[in-house]
């Protein structure tokens, strides 16, 4: 069993006379961007996720991942190779790649290159929720990205949102709101986002009247395995009725949908007295509002 020691105090009389104060950097030592200290954490984090060379490979991998833009043929090793050969440095650079550039790379033939360029072309058409998720903003997962999109409707509104406005969104607390504000304050990030919006597009989100949103402002959390529909399908259906789908259970949660092998989220919901729906209950609820699965 692994034992993790806990530091409870500093023994000052053991400190050597030549000890130096630890000076935290005011900017990222790799890219020079601003750093932020998360509340309650003893770390500083670079705010230039899409730009910083130290985060570059993982940021691009996340952007191309299945849950973001699902770029078929762009595996982790190929991303690393493209970055190492200086063919790309940001997600926006992916869309500048040519078939000739890719086909001349190690283990990449003409057919693989053709397929990759075709996949990138498909990835240009996305949704606002996937675009936000693909940016890799710290602690902004799929559910939070969807809630941001359905609350603000446009990228411009999210970029300019204040801390207070962001915290009105389901699943967005002070920490996540600060992460979003810090991300869009960083000029390097804005430059990458601008480059992406020049080539990517998504349909406008229809602003519905409250009469068309019977589940407006109700917060749902999904847990366990759903067998009659996919998790994404369930989220989309609930959001189309105005519901907000959060990633964690809190006192603000209205319903928890518990599928097979539901775990700690179900336990927490029961402890808080939150209404729990089975998958059959969710199907019935959706059917009441004209959605069949």
The answer to whether residues 268 and 241 belong to one domain is yes
CA-to-CA distance for 206 and 259, rounded, in angstroms?
Answer: 30
Percent helix, strand, coil in the chain (nearest 5)? 45, 10, 45
pLDDT of residue 1: 59
The answer to whether residues 194 and 214 belong to one domain is no
- Is 227 part of any domain? yes
The answer to whether residues 183 and 154 belong to one domain is yes
The answer to whether residues 222 and 254 belong to one domain is yes
Could you write out the three-class secondary structure of 205-274?
Answer: CCCCCHHHCCCCCCEEEEECECCCCCHHHHHHHHHHCCCEEECCCCCCCCEEEECECCCHHHHHHHHHCC
**Among 175, 199, 223, which residue terminates a domain?**
199
The answer to whether residues 176 and 224 belong to one domain is no
The answer to whether residues 188 and 220 belong to one domain is no
Question: What domain range is 245 assigned to?
Answer: 210-288
The answer to whether residues 261 and 236 belong to one domain is yes
Q: What is the pLDDT along the chain (293 residues), one digit of tens a residue?
A: 567 788 888 899 999 989 988 888 989 998 888 888 877 787 888 888 778 888 999 999 999 999 999 999 999 999 999 999 999 999 999 999 999 999 999 888 899 999 999 999 999 999 999 999 999 999 999 889 988 998 999 999 999 999 999 999 877 999 999 999 999 998 989 999 999 999 999 999 887 777 778 998 899 999 999 999 988 889 888 988 888 888 889 988 999 999 998 889 999 999 999 999 999 999 999 999 888 87
Q: Quote the pTM value.
A: 0.75
Region of 136 (left: φ > 0; alpha: ψ -120 to 50; beta: rest) is left
Residue 141, domain CATH: 1.10.150.20
- Is 69 part of any domain? no
Considering only CA atoms, which of 220, 284, 293, 287 is closest in space to residue 258?
220
The number of domains in the chain is 2
The answer to whether residues 155 and 223 belong to one domain is no
The answer to whether residues 277 and 224 belong to one domain is yes
**Among 145, 175, 199, which residue terminates a domain?**
199
**Among 167, 199, 231, which residue terminates a domain?**
199
- Is 139 part of any domain? yes
Considering only CA atoms, which of 235, 218, 238 is closest in space to residue 286?
238
Exposed/middle/buried for 213, CB within 10 Å: 0-12, 13-18, 19+?
middle
- Is 41 part of any domain? no
Please report the beta strands in the chain, taking only residues with DSSP state E, as ranges in sequence order: 35-36, 45-46, 219-223, 244-246, 255-258, 275-278
- Is 293 part of any domain? no
The answer to whether residues 195 and 219 belong to one domain is no
- Is 215 part of any domain? yes
The answer to whether residues 216 and 193 belong to one domain is no
CA-to-CA distance for 49 and 56, rounded, in angstroms?
Answer: 7
The answer to whether residues 223 and 272 belong to one domain is yes
């Amino acid at each position: 069993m692994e034992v993790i020691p806990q530091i409870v105090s500093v023994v000052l009389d053991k400190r050597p006379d030549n000890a130096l104060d630890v000076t935290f950097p005011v900017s990222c030592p790799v890219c020079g961007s601003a750093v932020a200290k998360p509340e309650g954490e003893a770390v500083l984090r670079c705010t230039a996720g899409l730009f910083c060379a130290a985060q570059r490979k993982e940021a691009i991998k996340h952007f191309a991942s299945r849950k973001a833009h699902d770029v078929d043929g762009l595996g982790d090793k190929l991303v690393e190779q493209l970055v190492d050969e200086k063919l790309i440095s940001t997600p926006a650079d992916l869309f500048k790649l040519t078939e000739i550039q890719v086909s001349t790379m190690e283990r990449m033939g003409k057919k693989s290159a053709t397929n990759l360029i075709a996949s990138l072309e498909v990835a240009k058409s996305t949704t606002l929720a996937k675009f936000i998720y693909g940016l890799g903003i710290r602690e902004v997962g799929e559910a939070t990205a969807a809630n941001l999109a359905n609350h603000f409707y446009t990228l411009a509104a999210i970029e300019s949102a204040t801390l207070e406005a962001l915290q009105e969104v389901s699943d967005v607390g002070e920490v996540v709101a600060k992460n979003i504000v810090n991300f869009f304050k960083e000029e390097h990030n804005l430059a990458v986002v601008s480059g992406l919006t020049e080539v990517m597009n998504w349909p406008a989100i229809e602003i519905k009247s409250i009469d068309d949103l019977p589940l407006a402002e109700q917060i749902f959390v999904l847990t366990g395995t759903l067998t009659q529909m996919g998790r994404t399908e369930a989220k989309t259906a609930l959001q189309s009725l105005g519901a907000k789908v959060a990633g964690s259970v809190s006192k603000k949660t209205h319903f928890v949908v518990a599928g097979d092998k539901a775990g700690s989220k179900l336990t927490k919901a029961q402890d808080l007295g939150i209404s729990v729906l089975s998958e059959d209950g969710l199907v019935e609820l959706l059917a009441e509002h004209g959605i069949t699965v």
